[in-house]
Amino acid sequence: MEGLLDFVLRDILTRAGGIDRCVSEFIRVNNTLLPARTFERIVPELLNGGRTFAGVPVRPQLLGSDPQCLAENAAVLAGLGPFGVDLNFGCPAKVVNRHGGGAALLEDPELLNRIMAAVRRAVPAPMPVSAKMRLGLHDDLRAEECALALQEGGAEELVVHARTKADAYRPPAYWERIADIRAVVKIPVIANGEIWTVQDAQRCRALSGCSALMLGRGMVTDPGLALAIAAQGPGACGAADASDAPHIAWNALLPLVADFWLLARTRLDRKKQAGRLKQWLNFLRHRYPQAEQAYLELRAVSDVQQIDAWMAAQQQPRAALTARA
């Protein structure tokens, strides 16, 4: 999720718990051999043994359309010791698809196979190579063919976002089509798309047959979602708490928001810092009334010192409660 789930937000969300592994935002590969410092800039967890500071493994993701170029870059990346290499065949962005990348590749299963095979050969055998795909570009008629092409190319795991590029992010997600893909491949399949609640997770598992799930915007909106899903167990498909309340109380989340701001202030370009905080608050406000208020208060603020002061003021009530206790 380019521009959203970067290393700063990965660090914070993995502190909340329930996440087994992260996949980085995609790294564009366009007819050039990227230096190690580029991979380390986008995935600085590579400098921490390939893990977030909470200890969760991160698998960097490459995006491109040239098999040889992707293979050469994958070899450089593999030398940095990641927990595997992932390939993006699902991005629906027009600028990516226009250059033959992301979901546009789902029109050419033979090319998918050649890309996967080239990367698999370039990466040491013990290192996993996985892929993420959508159901197709304009329709889902070739979904199974694409999945088989990736498997035959050497993919050891497949994440399926249960919509086409044409569907974009509009609900619903067609989780039952993931079950069709699972029926024809022999590698593990992970379900993705439109999982916002524990109930969504249970329905997705029931319809897709997958026990493993990938969370995106749902986790950004409700940072306790992964932990709540994990508490249900991998085979849980029954009734759960129907409450719409977020799974981490605002008072418990607020320190993570403060840590997010501290990381943004110290690790991101100054011009991006305020925008990144407001971007996350914009997601959080769908579940937290307090985040709605915070977003409204900060929406027009770009001065980082003003945000520092606002953040410090949010911590004062907590400090007072701690002192009284």
Distances from the Cα of 188 to the Cα of 136, 173, 185, 274, angstroms: 19, 20, 8, 40
Q: How many residues does the chain have?
A: 325
Q: Which residue has the tokens 């969300």?
A: 13
* Arithmetic mean of pLDDT, 14-34: 95
CB atoms within 10 A of CB 199: 14
For the chain, list the domains and their CATH numbers.
7-232 (3.20.20.70), 250-324 (1.20.225)
Binned at pLDDT 50, 70 and 90, residue 93 comes out as confident
CB atoms within 10 A of CB 164: 22
Kindly tell me if the per-residue pLDDT of 322 is higher than 60: no
* Arithmetic mean of pLDDT, 138-147: 98
Q: How many Cα neighbours within 13 Å face the side chain of 299? A: 8
pLDDT confidence of residue 317: 58
Return the bridge partners of 27, or none: 62
222: tokens are: 């409700």
Which residues fall within 8 angstroms of residue 249, CB to CB, at 6 or more apart?
A: none
Amino acid in position 193: G
Paired sense of beta strands 58-63 and 22-28, if any: parallel
Residue 320, exposed/middle/buried by CB under 10 A (0-12, 13-18, 19+)?
exposed
pLDDT confidence of residue 323: 47
pLDDT confidence of residue 143: 98
Q: Is 20 helix (H, G, I), strand (E, B) or coil?
A: coil
For residue range 34-54, list pLDDT tens digits in order.
Answer: 999 999 999 999 999 999 999
Q: Distance (Å, rounded) from C-alpha 305 to C-alpha 316? A: 17
Residues 23-43 as b/e (b if ≥16 CB within 10 A, e otherwise) read bbbbbbbeeeebeeebbeebb
| Mean pLDDT for the chain overall | 93
pLDDT confidence of residue 1: 67
Percentage of residues in the chain with pLDDT exceeding 90?
A: 86
pLDDT confidence of residue 245: 67
pLDDT confidence of residue 325: 46
Q: Distance (Å, rounded) from C-alpha 295 to C-alpha 102? A: 32
Q: Distance (Å, rounded) from C-alpha 240 to C-alpha 274? A: 37
Kindly tell me if the per-residue pLDDT of 297 is higher than 60: yes
pLDDT confidence of residue 53: 93
Full-model pTM: 0.92
Q: Decide: 87 and 61 in contact? Cβ < 8 Å.
A: yes
For residue range 214-266, list pLDDT tens digits in order.
Answer: 999 999 999 999 999 999 876 655 444 445 667 899 999 999 999 999 999 99
Q: Decide: 75 and 125 in contact? Cβ < 8 Å.
A: no
Kindly tell me if the per-residue pLDDT of 308 is higher than 80: yes
pLDDT confidence of residue 96: 83
With both helix axes pointing from N to C terminus, report the angle between 304-324 and 289-298 in degrees, rounded to the nearest 10. 140
pLDDT confidence of residue 318: 57
Strands, sheet with 58-63, edge to edge from the N-terminal-most edge strand: 22-28, 58-63, 85-89, 129-134, 157-161, 189-192, 213-214
Lowest mean pLDDT among 85-89, 93-97, 156-160, 293-297: 93-97
The reply to whether omega before 172 is within 30° of 0 (cis) is yes
pLDDT confidence of residue 117: 98
Residues with catalytic function: 91
pLDDT confidence of residue 315: 79
